[in-house]
Amino acid sequence: MTAVDPALTALANGWAALSLLHGRIEAHIERALQSGHDLSVREYSLLDVLSRQHDGEGGHLQMKQVADAVVLSQSATTRLVTRLEDRGLLSRYLCPTDRRGIYTDVSEAGLNLLEEARPTNDTALREALDEASRNPELASLVKAVELVDAPAPTR
């Protein structure tokens, strides 16, 4: 019989709780976006990331940067872009300075859908976090999520 390191057990338990929290939040948001806007969480995330591009230096993301931002492989991101392009929500064009580069922009229809879906996403996120905060195993993680980039309290 081997001894179990309590620190490793705590890490494993923490990771399991984080995974559980992520799964619950994503599933809750997925249901809300699908039923209200016919969008998946990944599609919403992609539209959101691409809508933040700008025309200045470094303003357009390469496919690898997009893939990293939406936490997908490059091939899965390309398939996702193609699906949204087929729906008229995105368009692709060649980089004007490097003909090998392809950029993706959100179409007017994509921007409209994103703006319609944003309150649904935000509400579903808040609901999922509120529900998770009532679970003692997840409450501290919810607090940590809420503190990420939170504005500092004013005096």
State how far the Cα of 50 lies from the Cα of 59, in Å rounded to an integer.
Answer: 10
Share of the chain above pLDDT 70, in %: 96
User: 115 is written with which tokens?
Assistant: 């703006």
12-57 tens-digit pLDDT: 999 999 999 999 999 999 999 999 999 999 999 999 999 998 777 7
Q: What are phi and psi of 38, to 5 degrees?
A: 55, 45
State how far the Cα of 52 lies from the Cα of 13, in Å rounded to an integer.
Answer: 36
Taken in order of first residue, the domains within the chain and their CATH numbers are: 10-144 (1.10.10.10)
Give the pLDDT mean for 78-89: 96
Q: How confident is the model at residue 113 (pLDDT cuts 50, 70, 90)?
A: very high
| Bridge partners, 106 (sequence order) | 90
User: What integer pLDDT is reported at residue 1 of this predicted model?
Assistant: 47
pTM of this prediction exceeds 0.95: no
State how far the Cα of 108 lies from the Cα of 38, in Å rounded to an integer.
Answer: 17
